[in-house]
A = this chain, B = another copy of it.
C-alpha cells in the first residue's frame, strides 16, 4: 500500500502515522519529494482499511499495491483448488457441464430435462426454485416445492443439484441441495455470505452485474473467512452500454481470475447473452479461454411453453454445444469428467 501525503504535512503528523502503522505490524518507508511525500507500507496490509486511512487529513490518496484478499489469493495458495461435488470435480484440470432449466416448473419437466442433459455429458443439474425477479408481478419460482422436485430429479439421475439461495434464513431448507448458488444481485449480500461461510457445502458465487473482479474475490473471501473454501466462481456477464444483448460476457475475466486466484471459474453463457443463438459460440469461447466449466439453460419444449426464457437451448442444441466444447477442452488440456 502506498500513501501519498499532502504537501506541507508536518513531521509530527507523519510520526503519528508511522507509529500507528508500526502498532499494526506495518513498516513504513518514507520518500520525500518536491510536490509530495510518499509512504510505502511493507507488511500484511490486507486487513488495513483503505477508507479509514484515506480519511486522515494529512493524506492525499491511498493506493493498494497488494490485493486485500488473502485466502482467495493465488500468491499465497499457488495450487488450484479442486471443488468436489458428489464425486464430480471442478478445477485443477477438471471441467464440468452444468445444465438444466431456468425454473423448475413440474416433476415431469425437471426429470425429463435432467435425463436429457445427463445423456449429453452434463454431470450437475441446475434449476431455479427461488427466483430473483426484477418485478414483484413476475413468477417468483416454486420455492420449497421446487426444491422437492429437484430432489426427485436427483434421485432419478444421480445428478447433484445446483440451485439459488436468496436469504440466509433458507439454509436449512437447502439441506439436500449439493451446491448453493449465490446470484449476481446477492454477490454483496454480506449477511448471506457470512452464513454460507459457516456451512460445509460448495458455493457457486456469481459475479455481480457491475462488480470488479476484486469485489468478487472479496465476496469469496467473506465465505472463506468463515471457514468454507469450497467456492466456484461464475462469470455470467456484466452490464455495458450495448442494448443488443442482455449482458456482455466478460471473457477476459476467466484468464485474469486464473491468475489472481486458485478457485475454479465457470461461465454461464445463457444469462450473459440472453439469446439462445449466442449460447453455442459463447460456450466455445469460454472453454477456449480456459474456464473450468460451463452452466447452460436447457428447456425440453421451448416451442410450446410460454414460460420458457429466450436464452434456453433445446436438448438437441445442448448436445451440439457439448460435443464442440469437448473438442475445445482437448486443446486447452482439460478433462471433461472428474468422476471415476
Contact = CB atoms under 8 A, between A and B. Distances in A.
Interface string A190-219: 111010000000000000011111110010
Nearest to A170: B191
Interface in A246-297: 248-256, 259-260, 272-273, 277-278, 281-282, 284-290
Given A218-B136, A277-B255, A288-B288, A65 B42 contact: no
Contacts of A87: none
Interface stretch (A47-55, A104-112, A147-155, A173-181): A47-55
A306 interface: yes
Interface centre among A32, A47, A134, A140 (most CB of B within 10 A): A134
A17 to B, nearest CB: 10
B186 A213 contact: no
Nearest to A30: B29
State which size class the interface on A falls in.
35 or more
Contact of A248 (B35, B132, B252): B252
A309 B212 contact: no
Contacts of A243: 212, 214, 243
Copies of this chain held together in the complex: 4
Contacts of A167: 167-168, 191-192
27 contacts: A2-B40, A29-B40, A31-B42, A38-B40, A47-B137, A49-B135, A49-B307, A51-B309, A54-B310, A55-B307, A136-B190, A136-B222, A166-B189, A167-B167, A212-B242, A238-B248, A241-B241, A249-B251, A249-B252, A252-B273, A252-B278, A255-B278, A256-B278, A284-B331, A285-B285, A285-B288, A288-B328
Given A20-B306, A281-B290, 13 more contacts: A55-B308, A57-B302, A134-B188, A136-B222, A209-B210, A210-B239, A212-B243, A238-B240, A240-B240, A249-B252, A251-B285, A252-B278, A282-B289
Interface of A: 2, 4, 20, 29, 31-36, 38, 40, 42-43, 46-47, 49, 51-52, 54-57, 61, 63, 65-66, 68, 75, 132-140, 166-169, 185-186, 188-192, 194, 209-215, 218, 221-222, 225, 238-245, 248-256, 259-260, 272-273, 277-278, 281-282, 284-290, 302-303, 306-312, 324, 327-328, 331-332
- Nearest 5 pairs of A and B residues by beta carbon: A210-B210, A284-B288, A29-B31, A33-B42, A288-B288
